Structure formats: C-alpha cells, structure tokens
C-alpha cells in the first residue's frame, strides 16, 4: 500500500500514518507497520465531524497517535483522493462512504441469475462520482450457460469499461483480475450478497480469510456479526476491500455523473427535434428512437434520483448556514 507525499505532509509530529482496515463508527482497526491495531476516534475529531461521512471508513489513511502497544487514537482522517459512497439508507442528503482511496471498483455479478444491468448502471454512477475506475466482473462462469450473451449485455451498459468473465470457484479468468491488482493499487469488491466477492478475495489471496456463503453479513451500516477485516493486503502489494452485500444502493452522484454513464443519451440528444427535449413524449426524439426503452427508463430514474439528492444537499447546506449565522449572532450578543 502506498500513499502520496501530500499524505505524509498532513501527519504532525508524534503522529503516524495508518490505514483503516475495518471501521465501526467510533472504533476501527488499522494497519500500521505491518501490524493490525485497535483504534478509537479521538474526541476532538468526533466533535468536529459534521456528518458520519467524515469519520474513518475502510480504506482511509489516518493520522494516529499510539496510546499503548495495542491501541491507537485516530486524530485525523486524511483527505480522500477517491471513494465509493451511497446515500445512507433512510437519511436525507446523508452520505455513507463504503470505501475510501480506491483505484478500481470490481462490480461483481453472479452469472447464476444475479446479473442485472440496472444495478450495474447504478454502481457505475457511484464509481464515476467517486473518481474510481470501474471494472465489471461476471462471476460463476463455471455454471453459466449464457456467459457470452451476458458479457455483451454488460458491454452495452458499461461503455468503455472492461468486462471480465471469471469463476472464483475454479480460478478461470481470475488472472485478468490479478493483473489489475498491481503494487499500490486499492480495489473494492462491490455487488450483491452471494455474487462471490469473498470467494474471489480468498482465491486472490490463496487463503480462506473471508467467510463465504451462508453467513449473514451486515448491510454495511457497521453492524458486523463477525469481526472480519474488510481491507486485505495481497502478496502483490495491492489492497483489496471486501464489502458486505448491500440490499440497497441508493444513488450518491450528481446529474453529471449519471449523464456520463449514459453518454449515448447525450450524444443522441443533439439530434432530437427540440433542443429541450425531455425524451419522454416529444415527436422527433432521437433518444427514444435510438436507446433501448429499459435503459432510457433507467437513465430517467437515476437522473431524478440525482436531482432529488442535489435538492436535499442544497437544503442541508442552507440549514448549516442558518445554524452558523445563529451561533455567530448569539456570540456577538453575549459580549
């Protein structure tokens, strides 16, 4: 695992640079000098955090201070250079960062009926938003009858994105995944529960570290039944982040990120008869003509979700400034 010089510059005397391998709100475990240590978030950091998204998550580089040989205090979360985040379930305008400082997102789907184009589009939007390179990994090739057709479908929805067909069970095709995981690269495994994320991780590691199969995992809110690690270092010097299967992947992306995933829509829109065509019922719509109906529907849905999210964020920002102004007012009056 490596980090830039700017990361080092953010570390103060008495602090050391560590990487979070699993987080649970105010507690975490970090990798530091080859060891895995218990960590707690410093009170000042907790107090200053405006939202849960500012607390350490798996993949974060953190400035820590040693409290005793087994325990460190996390004093600072270094600026994230990329991330995969979703909208926190049931919370307005609240971000939940699933993994920080990630280069590659392996979007996994099982070829045993789990493959879903709409889910891939959603993940692509998250990756785009977070500055992460997506790669689609279609798993369970050993039991798939239609791997070729599924690969074609994936290529259609994930334009310009690498699509790999593998079997984590037999190892077929896994070399192509391995090739992505060079020294210093951090990758995250994303996909539904049962897609084979943990099986692939174990294969890449050549060891059974991650439990697979029937184990019920948390939904990513930090409630882990087992105290498993999420970030694992591979022999190559890459880091791989396993995530629990998410039941819900609510969008955390701007309208621009969504539009980028559906770039053919923007390309065709130039040919619509009306400049402000909404591609719903206008005559002479090149988009409705040229884009598959289900894909277009998916685009409209994600765009609405992004719009709603940006509305929520604006509202939040407004309340933040109102609270700030109120604090300043009382401070002045108190003099």
Core vs surface per residue 164-187: b (16+ CB within 10 A) or e: bbbbbbeeebbeebeebbeeebbb
287: partner contacted, choices Zn ion, ligand GDP, Mg ion, none (Cβ within 5-8 A by kind) = Zn ion
Two structure tokens written together for 158: 């994930």
How many angstroms separate the CA atoms of 213 and 169, rounded? Answer: 12
Query: At what angle are helices 293-333 and 117-130 packed, to 10 degrees?
Result: 40
Q: Quick one: which of 15, 198, 257, 298 contacts Mg ion (CB under 5 A)?
A: 198
Tell me: does residue 243 bind ligand GDP (CB under 6 A): no
Q: Are 271 and 220 contacting, i.e. CB atoms less than 8 angstroms apart?
A: no
The region of 70-78, 190-198, 248-256, 305-313 touching ligand GDP under the rule CB under 6 A is 190-198
- Binding track, positions 256-295, relative to Zn ion; x by CB under 5 A: ----------------x----x-x-----x-x--------
Two structure tokens written together for 227: 């105290």
Two structure tokens written together for 306: 């992004």
Tell me: does residue 169 bind ligand GDP (CB under 6 A): yes
Tell me: does residue 119 bind ligand GDP (CB under 6 A): no
The region of 95-103, 145-153, 190-198, 255-263 touching Mg ion under the rule CB under 5 A is 190-198
Element at 148 (helix H, strand E): helix 147-157
The region of 23-31, 196-204, 232-240, 325-333 touching Mg ion under the rule CB under 5 A is 196-204
Element at 281 (helix H, strand E): none
- Name which of 223 and 323 has its Cβ closer to ligand GDP: 223
Tell me: does residue 193 bind ligand GDP (CB under 6 A): yes
User: CA of 162: how far to CAs of 91, 134, 156, 159, in Å?
Assistant: 33, 8, 11, 8
Residues, the chain, total? 335
Residue of closest CB approach to ligand GDP:
196
User: CA of 322: how far to CAs of 21, 270, 325, in Å?
Assistant: 37, 41, 5
Strand extents, DSSP E, 153-202: 162-165, 186-190
Tell me: does residue 245 bind ligand GDP (CB under 6 A): yes
Q: Quick one: which of 21, 72, 138, 195 contacts ligand GDP (CB under 6 A)?
A: 195
> Total residues at the site for Zn ion (CB under 5 A)?
5
> What is the closest distance, in whole angstroms, from the C-beta atom of residue 198 to Mg ion in the complex?
3
Query: Which residues are CB-contacts of 131 (< 8 A; sequence separation ≥ 6)?
Result: 81, 82, 83
- Name which of 197 and 203 has its Cβ closer to Mg ion: 197
Note the residues at the interface with ligand GDP (CB under 6 A): 139-140, 142-143, 167-169, 191, 193-199, 212-213, 245
Note the residues at the interface with Mg ion (CB under 5 A): 197-198
């Amino acid at each position: 695992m490596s980090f830039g010089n700017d990361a080092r510059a953010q570390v103060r005397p008495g602090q050391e640079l560590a990487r979070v391998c699993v987080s649970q709100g105010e507690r975490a475990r970090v990798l530091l000098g080859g060891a895995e240590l218990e960590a707690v978030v410093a009170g000042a950091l907790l107090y200053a955090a405006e939202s849960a998204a500012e607390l350490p998550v798996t993949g974060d580089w953190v400035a820590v201070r040693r409290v005793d040989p087994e325990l460190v205090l996390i004093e600072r979360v270094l600026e994230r250079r990329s991330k995969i985040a979703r909208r926190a379930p049931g919370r307005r305008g609240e971000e939940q960062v699933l993994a920080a400082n990630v280069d590659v997102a392996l979007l996994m789907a099982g070829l045993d009926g789990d493959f879903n184009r709409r889910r891939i589009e959603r993940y692509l939007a998250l990756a785009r938003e977070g500055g992460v390179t997506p790669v689609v990994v279609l798993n369970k090739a050993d039991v798939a009858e239609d791997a070729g057709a599924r690969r074609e479908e994936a290529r259609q929805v994930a334009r310009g994105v690498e699509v790999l067909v593998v079997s984590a069970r037999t190892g077929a095709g896994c070399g192509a995944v391995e090739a992505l995981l060079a020294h210093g690269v951090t990758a995250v495994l994303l996909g539904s529960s049962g897609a084979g994320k943990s099986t692939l991780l174990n294969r890449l590691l050549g060891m059974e570290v991650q439990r697979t199969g029937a184990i019920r995992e948390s939904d990513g809110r930090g409630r882990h039944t087992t105290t498993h690690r999420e970030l694992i270092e591979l022999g190559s010097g890459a880091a791989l982040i396993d995530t629990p299967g998410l039941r819900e992947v609510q969008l955390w992306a701007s309208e621009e990120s969504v539009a980028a995933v559906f770039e053919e829509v923007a390309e065709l829109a130039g040919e619509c008869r009306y400049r402000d065509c909404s591609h719903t019922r206008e005559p002479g719509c090149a988009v409705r003509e040229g884009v598959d109906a289900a894909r277009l529907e998916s685009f409209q849905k994600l765009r609405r979700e992004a719009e709603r999210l940006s509305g929520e964020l604006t509202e939040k920002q407004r309340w933040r400034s109102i609270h700030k102004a109120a604090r300043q007012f009382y401070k002045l009056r108190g003099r």
